[in-house]
Amino acid sequence: MTIKIGVIGTGAIGREHIKRITNTLSGGKIVAVTDVNQAVANQVSEELVPDAVIYPDDKELIAAENVEAVLVASWGPAHEQSVLAAIEAGKYVFCEKPLATTAEGCKRIVEAEMRQGKRLVQVGFMRRYDSGYVQLKEAIDSNFIGEPLMIQCAHRNPEVPDSYTTDMAITDTLIHEIDALHWLVDDDYKSVQVVFPKKSKHASEHLQDPQIIMLETNSGITINAEVFVNCKYGYDIQCEVIGEEGIARLPEVSSIVTRKNAKLGTNILMDWKQRFIDAYDKELQAFMDSIKLTGEPAGPTAWDGYIAAVTADACVKAQQSGQRETIALGKKPDFYQNNVTSKV
């Protein structure tokens, strides 16, 4: 059985997903594409999926009878409308982050999905599929390190363009930790405080870099997350969970070990695209496999998208206030309890 997929947004990320589904993964087929820039849609289709139908907009693509699932890779502000339309049409949606640009938008999606009575949406938080995070979660879930008490993590990029602003440290960068960490410890965020260390000379005038974001969870776990997007030396994702009985830490990126010029060492990636390349493959394969197997996607839910939005809002507020800010999520609907994903 092959899932027939329509892609909304054929920019860089959309193209990657089209190539992935067409050339690498099993069980999916791109049957439809659309883009606000029709010329881009034409070109991508011609180059990668000549058999796909090109639609003038997301509405028509979603309405197409042979489209079973929709992959939303347009720019952020357009996500909500496409996701809502797909839900309305009872079609599966894989939506790149953000699910919507506001918490309210995410809430509307959550409510629409609940009205449909079945899970249709998976959000593109790929870290849950990264082999290192999966091992980390297993170590926690198996109680190998005992009850988690603290998390120490870092998200570092060698550099960012001048257009990168202080709030993007949250909305573009920390957003992945926001999703991955509550999933790791199966807990919800309660409050956040942001501290600005001494600024790097490599950061642009308008950018506070690095930043330390201190999150607290409902059960009291303290999370210390460093975002440092002009660290120069590499793209580096660190995460260490300190528990009552021991500590577990993400592996370094797998690299040959060399001895040369008085140095013993391994290679650090410079390009973020390589870091989670396997995880991108796995999240989409899992999306398709779980739909086939259970009739519902098993990955990060619309509710997870909502958590990310509410938490990011509070983080940005904490950046501005310098104070500890509350994160008020409300109770998780039963609908989203026991979803298969969190067991993956």
Residues between 285 and 344 with contacts to its own copies, criterion CB under 8 A? 285, 289
* Pick from 40, 33, 27, 25: nearest CA to 6: 33
- Is the CB of 53 or the CB of 149 nearer to its own copies? 149
The HSE-up count of residue 317 (CA atoms within 13 Å, CB side) is 14
Residue 232 makes contact with its own copies by CB under 8 A: yes
Q: How far is the CB of 39 from its own copies (least distance, A)?
A: 27
Q: How far is the CB of 105 from its own copies (least distance, A)?
A: 33
**Given candidates 58, 236, 304, 325, which one binds its own copies under the rule CB under 8 A?**
236
Residue 221 makes contact with its own copies by CB under 8 A: yes
Choices 42-50, 98-106, 171-179, 238-246; region in contact with its own copies by CB under 8 A? 238-246
Neighbour tally for 11: CB within 10 Å: 15
Per rule CB under 8 A, count of chain residues that contact its own copies: 71
Environment class of residue 253 by beta-carbon count within 10 Å: exposed (0-12), middle (13-18) or buried (19+)?
Answer: middle
19 contacts: CB under 8 Å, gap ≥ 6? 48
Separation CA 247–CA 235 (nearest Å): 23
Environment class of residue 269 by beta-carbon count within 10 Å: exposed (0-12), middle (13-18) or buried (19+)?
Answer: middle
- Is the CB of 75 or the CB of 233 nearer to its own copies? 233
Q: How far is the CB of 79 from its own copies (least distance, A)?
A: 27
Spell out, one character per residue from 119 to 148, where the chain touches its own copies: x when CB under 8 A holds, - when not: ------------xx--xx--x----xxxxx
Choices 34-42, 68-76, 216-224, 330-338; region in contact with its own copies by CB under 8 A? 216-224
Residue 47 makes contact with its own copies by CB under 8 A: no
Residue 186 makes contact with its own copies by CB under 8 A: no
Q: DSSP for 112-124?
A: HHHHHTS--EEE-
Q: How far is the CB of 204 from its own copies (least distance, A)?
A: 14
Give how far the C-alpha of residue 107 lies from the chain's centroid of Cα atoms, to the nearest Å: 18
Rule CB under 8 A: which of 54-113 touch its own copies?
none
Strand 121-123: give its sheet, edge to edge.
53-54, 28-34, 3-8, 69-72, 92-95, 121-123
C-alpha distances in Å from residue 43, one per residue of 47, 54, 70: 6, 10, 20
Choices 20-28, 44-52, 57-65, 89-97; region in contact with its own copies by CB under 8 A? 20-28
Separation CA 344–CA 341 (nearest Å): 5
Single-letter code of the amino acid located at 167: D
**Given candidates 43, 78, 224, 317, which one binds its own copies under the rule CB under 8 A?**
224
- Is the CB of 40 or the CB of 253 nearer to its own copies? 253
Look-up of token digits 């030396």: 233
- Is the CB of 186 or the CB of 278 nearer to its own copies? 278
Rule CB under 8 A: which of 241-280 touch its own copies?
242, 244-252, 254-270, 278
- Is the CB of 176 or the CB of 199 nearer to its own copies? 199
